[in-house]
Amino acid sequence: MMEIGLNHYLVLSTILFSIGLVGVMRRKNLLMLFFATEILLNSVNISFAAISHFYGDLTGQMFAFFVIAIAASEVAVGLGLLIVWHKRHNAIDLDLMSTMKG
Amino acid sequence: MFEAIAFYLFSFLTIAMFYITVTTSQALYALSALAAGMIFISAFFFILGADFLGAVQIVVYSGAVMALYAFGMMFFDTTRDVKEKKGNKYLITGLATLAAILVVVIVSAPLIGENISAYYPMTEGAGNTQEIGMVLFTKYLVPFELAAVMLLVAMISGIVLAGKKMDLSLTLMSDREIIEMREEKNKKVLL
């Protein structure tokens, strides 16, 4: 209990990932959906760093860096698209984005 | 001992913050809770000895990403309560937990195997930042450059999408059109 091992970090990562998934599934507002995806990416980063530490290998940290870079660019593009959508439709609800519905 | 205390404290704080982010109906609360959660996550990186990753986490997430979200929120009406989907709450929670456990099993399945050895073992006598520099600029140089190109593309797309009158091109317009556009702009300023 007092000795923190790899499993503790993996369990924490699971809990955070499930919180993020709950957010992705229940949110209707697109901005809140982006927040939930940030939680998903961060929870994965924790497990990468933990595996990197407990196996003495730097690969996990490298992948965490690339995940951070991808998250940053995702936010830039996503927010740009969201602003364009908000200018046109004056709403950012997910239900309105059904123009490709057959 | 101290590691255990820090781990449990910060895991409690992180889970609480992210729970607020997911469940609150105020966009501003969600943003603040998310920023706090990012800072608390960097504590795990410091506990795990990944100092540089922790610093990057604070700088990139709490600095850049949160500032971007704050600017983006100025465009949207954030005082209004966020409407929620009326779905089966237990089904959503169960499915999310199942999917998360599946992901962790997939990630940690190779760890159960016997013969695991480090590809790029940590060097003795070098700090974390130094080690990361050595690995990043030798073995991971090409992905690093690709990430740089991707960030550049993301930056340009962000500017083009969020900027005003980005659909006009001054090089493709005739001189008269440019003069007309400027006069129109001056009129708006004078009004």
Q: Is the pLDDT of residue B32 over 80?
A: yes
Q: Is the pLDDT of residue B63 over 60?
A: yes
For the segment B47-53, the average pLDDT, to the nearest whole number, is 89
Specify the pLDDT at position A42: 92
Task: Identify from B22, B23, B26, B102 which residue to disrupt to test chain A contact, counting A C-beta atoms within 10 A and taking the largest count.
Answer: B22
Q: Are the Cβ atoms of A72 and B75 closer than 8 angstroms?
A: no
Domain limits at B149? 140-191
Domain tally, chain A: 1
Residue B22 domain-assigned (yes or no): yes
Residue B92 domain-assigned (yes or no): no
Residue B108 domain-assigned (yes or no): no
For the segment B130-138, the average pLDDT, to the nearest whole number, is 87
Task: Output the domain CATH number for residue B38.
Answer: 1.20.120.1200
Closest CA to B62 of B33, B95, B90, B89: B33
Q: Are the Cβ atoms of A66 and B147 closer than 8 angstroms?
A: yes
Specify the pLDDT at position B133: 87
- Crossing angle for the helix pair A30-54 and A59-89, nearest 10 degrees? 180
Specify the pLDDT at position B36: 93
Residues 6+ apart with CB under 8 A from B10: B40, B43, B44, B47
Domain tally, chain B: 2
Among candidate residues B33, B54, B82, the one where a domain is terminated: B82
Percent helix, strand and coil across chain A, each rounded to 5? 80, 5, 20
Specify the pLDDT at position B79: 64
Count interface pairs A-B at CB distance under 8 A: 226
Task: Output the domain CATH number for residue A33.
Answer: 1.10.287.3510
Specify the pLDDT at position B86: 66
Distance CA A35, CA B61 (A): 12
Residue B87 domain-assigned (yes or no): no
Name the residue in chain B with its Cα closest to that of A32: B27
Domain limits at A68? 13-96
Q: What are the CA-CA distances from residue A52 to residues A5, A12, B120 (Å)? A: 12, 16, 10
What is the dihedral sign for C-alpha B154, B166, A78, B28?
A: positive
Among candidate residues B82, B100, B119, the one where a domain is terminated: B82
For the segment B31-35, the average pLDDT, to the nearest whole number, is 92
**pLDDT per position as a tens digit, B163-182:** 777 777 777 778 888 888 88
A97 touches chain B (CB under 8 A): no
Q: Are the Cβ atoms of A45 and B41 closer than 8 angstroms?
A: yes
Q: Is the pLDDT of residue B145 over 90?
A: yes
For the segment A53-64, the average pLDDT, to the nearest whole number, is 86
Name the residue in chain A with its Cα closest to that of B71: A79
Residue A6 domain-assigned (yes or no): no
Predicted TM-score (pTM) of the model is 0.83
Q: Is B120 helix (H, G, I), strand (E, B) or coil?
A: coil
Residue A2 domain-assigned (yes or no): no
**pLDDT per position as a tens digit, A65-94:** 999 999 999 998 988 888 888 888 877 777
Residue A82 domain-assigned (yes or no): yes
Among candidate residues B48, B82, B116, the one where a domain is terminated: B82
Closest CA to A5 of B110, B108, B99, B131: B108
Name the pLDDT band for B124 (thresholds 50, 70, 90).
Answer: low
> What mean pLDDT, rounded, does chain A reach?
86
Name the pLDDT band for A39 (thresholds 50, 70, 90).
Answer: very high
A96 touches chain B (CB under 8 A): no
Residue A53 domain-assigned (yes or no): yes
Specify the pLDDT at position B148: 93
- Which residues in chain B are closer than 8 Å to A72, comparing Cβ atoms? 60, 64-65, 151, 154
Give this complex's ipTM: 0.90
Considering the domain architecture, whether residues B70 and B146 belong to the same structural domain is answered as no
Q: Is the pLDDT of residue B112 over 80?
A: no
Name the pLDDT band for B74 (thresholds 50, 70, 90).
Answer: confident
Q: What are the CA-CA distances from residue B166 to residues B8, B170, B181 (Å)? A: 49, 10, 14
